[in-house]
Amino acid sequence: MEEKTLDQSSAPILEAIEEYHRLDRYGFTPPGHRQGRGVDQRTLDALGLDTFRSDLLATAGLDDRLSRGAILSRAEDLMADAVGADKAFFSTCGSSLSVKSAILAVTRGRGEILISRDAHKSVTAGLLFSGLQPRWIPVRYDNELHIAHPPSPESVEMMWQRHPDAAAALVVSPTPYGTCADLEAIAEICHSRGKPLIVDEAWGAHLPFHDALPTWAMDAGADICVVSIHKMGLGFEQGSVYQLQGPLVDPVRLQHCADLLASTSSSVVLYAGIDGWRRQMVAEGHALLDSALSLADRLRGDIGALPGLHVPREELLGVEASHDLDPLHVLIDVSGLGISGYQASDWLRAEQRIDMGLVDHRRVEATLSTADDDETARRLLEALEKLTRAAKDFPTPPPISFPEGSDFEPDMALQPRDAFFGPVDSVPIAEAVGRIAAEQVTPYPPGIPALLPGERINAAILEYLRTGVKAGMNLPDPADPTFQTIRVVAE
């Protein structure tokens, strides 16, 4: 039977919104603001009427009560067709929900799963919900740059040999630094055992649309790939898509697991943002990414020419580092100015009205998208040039005590779920060494936990976090964000 060709110039969700307004529909249903009719004028002045006009009920609103228009499913089919997946599912709860759904679907909520230790805090949440036993794949920690590179295929193979009954493997690629794992080799290792590979590719929504970018997870053989449209795409915050291919994961179970976690009041506006971005990328994505990549290349050179600033590239790649790098992540090392990344970020926001993404002890990062152009690049460059002159008046940043890489792999003494939901004590940091953590402690951004529920706390990690907070590190997860105390399993 000849396959039906899908019309990629169509955007079913956007077209349905346009029809809703054209037909002058009115619903005595949620949302109660009735397309902005009842909203306070001060709120409309801040948000605009259009913010509310397209905030519609998905069923018995945008579509009929039985979803006979198949508006969402047609949009998802178009996404799958655009990127070459078997199935695509939209999520309006971000990739955090999508990753949890994938974990539950491949494990059926029990047993073991291999997970790279640089996984996002949303993965930890999936473990707490499910009660799964994580088997952590060690990452390649760089003791000079003090960043974690993705795990090597050899590490994945080693973990499968140790834990052959694990249900699946989950790796993060690209990382928030833009570094990428050798997904093709890792997928082959997993598939040789008949086990699926999940890739948390939240930072990789754009990868299918240009061959100069790192290999997209589906092209590398991954079974499930989760992307955040709001990160490197042009969708709204919380817009996420998870794609599926191959026979190793049941698509119905995957959808059912997502339904267990998702809101029953999904935002049509977020769906529409995903739908419209897919249409745009099919039509113009290669050309748009051509321009973005050229802009990133020029900007890297211009920033690197400023005194005291360095834009790392080669040191992020190679045998002992990462397999590939997304050049749209423009990482800027400010340590040559004698300041910290925290100081640089705070000053750029306060004095130049520029917000940076990832921030750590010595770096800030600008992630470029297809929305950036010469004007936005100039604005960043001018702000950084002013930073290089202002930095001489900054106070010396407090030092941070950095552990060795092995210290970031403490003993998992209890299952995360048991530690998190069991009886806890709150103890001073000085008394926490040797105790079992009952909460996760996550420097944010990028959101990778330094300490997880169930891990036995070591002195090196505590000192890193304690000195990090003094230097400006943000710890939003622990009950005490000043990190004077920590929740531990009661003895």
Can you tell me whether residue 231 is helix, strand or coil?
helix
Give the global pTM: 0.93
- Cβ neighbours of 92 (radius 10 Å): 22
* Residue 346 φ then ψ, to 5°: -65, -40
Residues forming CATH 3.40.640.10 domain(s) in the chain: 12-279
How many residues in the chain?
Answer: 491
Question: Is the domain 12-279 a CATH 3.40.640.10 member?
Answer: yes
Q: Which residues of the chain have pLDDT under 50?
A: 1-2
Tokens at 8, concatenated: 């990629």
Tokens at 84, concatenated: 């070459």
486: which residues sit within 8 A by CB, 6+ positions away? 426, 427, 429, 432, 437, 439, 441, 457, 462, 478, 480
- Beta-sheet pairing, 179-180 with 324-325: antiparallel
- Cβ neighbours of 38 (radius 10 Å): 10
* Residue 322 φ then ψ, to 5°: -105, 160
Residues forming CATH 3.90.100.10 domain(s) in the chain: 405-489
Tokens at 281, concatenated: 């990328």
Residue listed under structure tokens 């992540």? 329
Tokens at 429, concatenated: 């940091």
> Rounded to 5 degrees, what angle do the CA atoms 254, 255, 256 make?
90
- Cβ neighbours of 198 (radius 10 Å): 29
- Cβ neighbours of 109 (radius 10 Å): 14
Rounded distance between C-alpha atoms, residue 408 and residue 418, angstroms: 21
Q: Which CATH number fits domain 405-489: 3.90.100.10, 2.60.450.10, 3.30.450.90, 3.10.110.10?
A: 3.90.100.10
- Beta-sheet pairing, 240-244 with 224-228: antiparallel
- Beta-sheet pairing, 197-200 with 224-228: parallel
Helices 12-22 & 268-304 angle (0-180, nearest 10):
130
pLDDT for the residue 1? 41
Q: Which amino acid is at 261?
A: L
pLDDT for the residue 410? 78
**DSSP 8-state code for residue 61:** T
pLDDT for the residue 320? 66
pLDDT for the residue 353? 97
Measure the N-to-C terminal CA separation of the chain; round to a whole number of Å. Answer: 65
Share of the chain above pLDDT 70, in %: 99
Q: For residue range 51-97, what is the model confidence (pLDDT) as tens digits?
A: 999 999 898 889 998 989 999 999 999 999 999 999 999 998 888 88
Tokens at 242, concatenated: 């998870």
pLDDT for the residue 444? 83
